Chains A and B, each alone.
Chain A
Amino acid sequence: MKGKATHRGRIQAQGGEVEKSCAWAQAIALTRSEGQQKVDTLEESLTLIERDSRKEGFQQVRDYINRAAKAGGVNAPVSKTFPNRSKGRSDVRVDIEVITGKAFVPDSTK
């Protein structure tokens, strides 16, 4: 994609010795479905154990993206973090970070 990447952010799986992320940097705001694809890509990059301990977190991330899209998207900077409380380790988490621009705009607006 050409043009200045004014819309940047990342979705991360962190904690429990895991530090993986799926980032974006583009000229047009990330759409809801593109955001969901980023979540899928990140989830698929984890091992089964890493994925299992963040299962609820990934679903919460997807819900947040849908909610943001209904509101027209979310402006940077903002982060939303979903720690896994059920495993008793608060540092095991999934994190959305919109760093610049806007993200999770409704699909039809792109």
Chain B
Amino acid sequence: MVSTTEQATYELWLSEDGSYDFFPSTNENARALLDEDAKLVKLIEASSWEEARQKQYELLGWGSYQIPFDASEAVSILDSKGGRTAFNVNDLFNRNTACDLTKISFNQLRWLEQEKIVVPLSDKKRTKFYTFSQILQLQAYVLINHDKSVRVRNNVLKKVLKFYSANFNKIDLHQSHPYSIGSTIKTVEPDLSNANDFLDQVRKLDFNYPASYTVHIYPSMMDVLLTLHENVQAIYDIEFDEFRQMLAA
């Protein structure tokens, strides 16, 4: 990785097939992979790879560069009793584990899949696997579904659950609650410091359609992570007790 304090020069190359190569001038290995017809488009000065990529994105009109989440770091929860739960965000979970961790029933899981609200990965043997972000979706669904009086349309539920899969690495959103008005999904801060945004949404409602009056506020990311943590700790306690009994025997 290039130093984050010193400026370095990055090269942007364009090949005739329209593809771009981008690397620091010092990366001879990447240069060796350039197409023969590639032409140097731009030299960019930046103090880090992330900054250089952002400049490349701006130059090419691609919007904002999303800094990669360090996937090597686990999502870790430490509670006041010292209980700790850690997940590697690259882990895949089979169906049984997904159900054990989130306490979702097989029927609920099947329904989410049938409705394509959560679509698991599958291997050549058609064994289904769930990513960590999908585990969060399942856990959020269990919490939302806990209140039987809440009925959310499938398309809205899909959008709401996407909040959890897309934002688990954004700490500033962990306390926010996603909410829906009609099919619009936004977030509201627990202290209502962004209440004006919320009120703006209400003002936009079309009162000719009573269904759009319904405002649902869903669990925050923190609620979901804590529930998952409690479930994992409960599983650990049972295993530890069983282990202790085995020792006693």
Contact = CB atoms under 8 A, between A and B. Distances in A.
A68 B69 CA distance: 25
Interface in A64-95: 64, 67-68, 71, 73-83, 85, 90-91, 93
B2 A80 contact: no
A99 B17 CA distance: 24
A80 B72 contact: no
Interface residues of B, number: 31
A85 B27 contact: no
Contacts of B223: none
B20 interface: yes
A65 B224 CA distance: 38
B71 A23 contact: yes
A5 B53 contact: no
B68 A8 contact: yes
Nearest to A67: B33
A15 to B, nearest CB: 7
Contacts of B61: 90-91
B71 A79 contact: no
A99 B49 contact: yes
A51 interface: no
Interface in B172-196: none
Interface residues of A, number: 37
Contacts of A45: 119, 121
Contact of A80 (B20, B68, B121): B20
B29 A74 contact: yes
B154 interface: no
Interface in B1-45: 1-2, 17-24, 27, 29-30, 32-33
B165 to A, nearest CB: 11
Contacts of B29: 71, 73-75, 78
Contact of A60 (B2, B19, B49, B121): B19
Contact of A76 (B1, B20, B53): B1
A24 to B, nearest CB: 7
Interface string B82-105: 000000001000000000000000
A97 B61 CA distance: 18
A82 B21 CA distance: 9
Given A8-B72, A68-B33, A85 B18 contact: yes
* Complex A-B, nearest 4 residue pairs according to Cβ-Cβ distance, in ascending order: A5-B72, A25-B72, A78-B30, A25-B71
11 contacts: A5-B71, A8-B68, A23-B90, A24-B90, A71-B32, A75-B30, A77-B49, A79-B22, A79-B53, A82-B17, A97-B53
Interface of B: 1-2, 17-24, 27, 29-30, 32-33, 49, 53, 56, 60-63, 66, 68-72, 90, 119, 121
Given A24-B90, A80-B21, A90-B60, 17 more contacts: A8-B71, A25-B72, A25-B90, A45-B121, A64-B33, A67-B33, A71-B29, A71-B33, A73-B29, A74-B29, A75-B29, A78-B21, A79-B21, A79-B23, A91-B63, A99-B68, A100-B1
